[in-house]
Each structure stands twice: as C-alpha cells, then as structure tokens.
C-alpha cells in the first residue's frame, strides 16, 4: 500500500501543472484512475496500487527522486530566487516539483550537488554529527604548505564560537597557485574559502568532487545531471 492522496495533489507533485491547470485537466476528463475518467479533484488515489493516466498515458508516481547535478558556476543553490538563476531552473524533467538542493554551494562553486525531495536523507547528509565527508578540489592563490595541513587537521578557527572540525588537506600542487583536495565534515557558510583566508590564502576556484564517498560522475559536464542509481541511493542511506 502506498499513501492515499488527493488526485489534484498527486498530479501537482508529479509536475503536471498549476493547481488551476490540473483542475481543468480533470474537468475535461483527461485524467483517469484505473481506466475510469476522474471528475473530482478531491478523489483519493493510492500512490502504489492505483493507475493514474493523463490522456491515456500512464503516470509513474515516484515518492522520492534523487539527482546528481554537476553545478555550474553562476547559479545559486536555492529553489527560488527573484534575480538569480537557481539550480532548480536547470532541472527540466525531475518528475517531481518539490526537489531541493542538499546543502548549498556558493554561486561561483562548481561540482557535486544532490537534489532530492527526501528531507530525511538530506538532513542526515548535512548533519555534522553524521560526519559525512565532503571533498573539495580547490585552486588557491599562495603556497599551501605542510603547516597548513597540520593547522587544518587540528581544527582551524574561522571566527566562529567553535573551531572547525579536523579537516584533511591533501596538497596536489604547491606553488604560487596551489592545488588541493580538502575533506570537511561540516558546511559552515563559505567554509572552505574562510579556512584558507584564515591561513592568508585565497581560493580562486572551488569544486565539490564527492559527498559521503559518492563521487561526481566524470561524464557530467557543468549543468548536466542524472538520476542516482538504486545502488547509489542505498549507499547514501546506509552511510547516514
Ligand atoms: N566552502 C565554500 O567556501 N564554498 C562552497 O561553495 C562550499 C564550501
């Protein structure tokens, strides 16, 4: 047995139009439940066992949707924004209208962003208590040193009440422009940028490459997204 919900809510969740458009679809007899045209927007359907069709096409109801987006620079990690393009604007066919980004990447940050409507999984992935690793690749202006590695590992202060949790810094290139991978388990505001500022350096490029061991699919160009596989969803649920 699935949930029993109103047909207009069902269609709205499945992104079939605005409330008034949906009412119109129902009024015109274009929606059927188990083959019988439905005329009442408050009719209840079982999300598992009932078959709902629009113009004879079966709708596949999904309670939860999980997407992996390679966030491009220039879009904000929000569901709506008056001025800026959001990550949700990039998603054309999620099948659900209630998806949101799991945490935030800055407007100029790229990389792995999970989008879902599963609030529980999102909460778990973001809770510092769950110690989920978030790995960032960064280009940093200034020479990153072993001393920075040690400071980050001991828990650097970035001007908040509590210092950051220990973070693993791997130096890939140390030079005028350094390249690093940094693993953190929190998501404080501008955290990576502020950690480097605290050691007198500036992040000039930032990309999240993995979350909870789930790596950004190298086949996804910035702005591309795909559904997570069943295994990936199970994996994320198991680590939290
Ligand atoms: N840390 C930052 O400074 N920015 C991000 O977008 C993510 C982590």
Q: What is the mean pLDDT of the chain?
A: 95
Nearest atom in ligand 1 to 104's CA: 6
pLDDT tens for 108-121 read 999 999 999 999 99
The reply to whether 118 belongs to the active site is no
Nearest atom in ligand 1 to 194's CA: 3
Instruction: Tell me, using a 6 A CB cutoff, whether residue 192 lines ligand 1.
Output: yes
Q: How far apart are CA 51 and CA 71, in angstroms?
A: 35
For ligand 1, atom 7, name the residue with the nearest CA. Answer: 105
pLDDT tens for 9-40 read 999 988 898 999 999 999 999 999 999 999 99
Q: pTM for the complete prediction?
A: 0.88
Task: Please list the alpha-helical segments (H only) found in the chain.
Answer: 7-13, 19-27, 119-126, 146-154, 191-198, 230-239
CA nearest to 106, candidates 72, 80, 157: 72
Instruction: Tell me, using a 6 A CB cutoff, whether residue 178 lines ligand 1.
Output: no
Task: Give Cα 43 distance to the centre of its chain.
Answer: 33
pLDDT tens for 114-147 read 999 999 999 999 998 899 999 999 999 999 999 9
């Amino acid at each position: 047995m699935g949930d029993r919900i109103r047909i207009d809510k069902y269609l709205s969740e499945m992104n079939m139009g605005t409330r008034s458009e949906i009412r119109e679809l129902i009024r015109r007899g274009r929606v059927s439940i188990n083959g019988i045209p439905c005329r009442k927007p408050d009719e209840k359907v079982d999300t598992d066992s009932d078959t709902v069709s629009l113009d004879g096409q079966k709708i596949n109801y999904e309670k939860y949707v999980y997407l992996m987006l390679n966030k491009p620079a220039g879009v904000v990690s929000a569901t709506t924004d008056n001025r800026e393009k959001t990550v949700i604007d990039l998603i054309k066919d999620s099948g659900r209208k209630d998806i949101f980004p799991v945490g935030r990447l800055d407007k100029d940050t790229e990389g792995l962003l999970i989008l879902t409507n599963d609030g529980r999984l999102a909460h778990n992935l973001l809770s510092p208590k769950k110690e989920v690793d978030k790995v960032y690749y960064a280009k940093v202006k200034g020479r990153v040193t072993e001393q920075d590695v040690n400071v980050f590992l001991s828990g650097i202060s970035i001007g908040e009440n509590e210092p950051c949790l220990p973070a693993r810094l791997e130096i890939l290139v140390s030079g005028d422009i350094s390249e690093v991978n940094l693993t953190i388990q929190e998501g404080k505001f501008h955290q990576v940028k502020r950690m480097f500022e605290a050691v007198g350096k500036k992040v000039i490029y930032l990309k999240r490459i993995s979350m909870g061991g789930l790596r950004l699919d190298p086949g996804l160009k910035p702005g591309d997204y795909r559904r997570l596989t069943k295994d990936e969803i199970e994996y994320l649920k198991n680590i939290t």
